[in-house]
């Protein structure tokens, strides 16, 4: 069955370190998204991609970057981790924009 | 800008009682509307969605929602709550004017009492 996976599921890091969160989907979807989930804020869009070599900034992109070298993967990089980036991160993919997004299980990141 | 508002961050019902979770959106054009459910320590799972056509949409696990354009609402209901319905529920909207991006509400945590 097609799926979307994230790794690691839990991560503890220190401020100032670079961190990369992996997202891999086997749906063969063109569209991929990264969200962060914080209490009281719901899910907020960080970055998204409509296809290989395409990346776009979302609502809360400062301090984050993504790259899309193939259809299956959209890694999220925190260039220099800050305590404000402690959150749960979700990756999602969809076949067409505005259609159903399929979510990964999430990565819980703690920045000390 | 598009926004989605969920009234009530926490809703508590008794097992067997009606579940009503409220969602209102602001959009200048008809949106696509979604309800997602999130169980503890899991990702979001689609419950149901409205794109076009029939305004009463049925989803999984006995949930349904009705798109009311005049009220800009998309409330989620279930006639009889089960203990297994305890979870967090998110309403989301997208439309062409927002670049077809999903905008999420703040979420409603549903608690079901025995």
Is residue B1 scored above 90 in pLDDT? no
Helix (H, G, I), strand (E, B), or coil: what is residue B58?
strand
> Which residues, 6+ apart, have CB-to-CB distance to B17 below 8 Å?
B80, B81
Is residue B45 scored above 90 in pLDDT? yes
Q: What is the model's pLDDT at position B10?
A: 95
What's the CA gap between B14 and A29, in Å, rounded? 40
CB-nearest to A41 from B45, B51, B106 is: B106
Is residue B97 scored above 60 in pLDDT? no
Q: What is the model's pLDDT at position B91?
A: 95
The ranges of chain A with pLDDT < 50 are none
Over chain B, what is the mean pLDDT? Answer: 90
Structure tokens at B6: 């969920």
Residue B101 — pLDDT band, cuts 50, 70, 90? confident
- Chosen for mutation from B40, B44, B100, B103 (greatest number of chain A CBs closer than 10 Å) is B44
To 5 degrees, how large is the angle CA B47–CA B50–CA B52?
Answer: 155
- Chosen for mutation from A98, A101, A107 (greatest number of chain B CBs closer than 10 Å) is A98
What's the CA gap between A39 and A61, in Å, rounded? 18
Residue B100 — pLDDT band, cuts 50, 70, 90? low
Instruction: Provide the shortest C-alpha distance from residue B69 to chain A (in Å).
Output: 18
């Amino acid at each position: 069955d097609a799926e979307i996976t994230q790794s690691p599921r839990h991560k503890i890091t220190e401020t100032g370190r670079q961190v990369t969160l992996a997202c891999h989907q086997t749906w063969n979807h063109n569209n991929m998204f990264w969200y962060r989930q914080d209490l009281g804020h719901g899910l907020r869009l960080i970055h998204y991609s409509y296809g290989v070599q395409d990346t776009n900034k979302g609502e809360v992109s400062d301090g984050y970057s993504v790259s899309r070298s193939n259809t299956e993967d959209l890694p999220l990089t925190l260039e220099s981790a800050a305590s404000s980036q402690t959150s749960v991160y979700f990756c999602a993919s969809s076949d067409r924009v505005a259609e159903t997004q399929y979510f990964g299980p999430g990565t819980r990141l703690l920045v000390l | 800008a598009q926004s989605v508002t969920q009234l009530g961050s926490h809703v508590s019902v008794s097992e067997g009682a009606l579940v009503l979770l409220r969602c209102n959106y602001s959009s200048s054009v008809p949106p696509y509307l979604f309800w997602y459910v999130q169980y503890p320590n899991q990702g979001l799972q689609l419950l149901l969605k409205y794109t076009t056509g029939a305004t009463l949409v049925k989803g999984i696990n006995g949930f349904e929602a009705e798109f009311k354009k005049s009220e800009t609402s998309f409330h989620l209901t279930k006639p009889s709550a089960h203990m297994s319905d305890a979870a967090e529920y998110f309403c989301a909207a997208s439309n062409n004017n927002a670049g077809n991006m999903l905008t999420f509400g703040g979420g409603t945590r549903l608690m079901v009492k025995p």
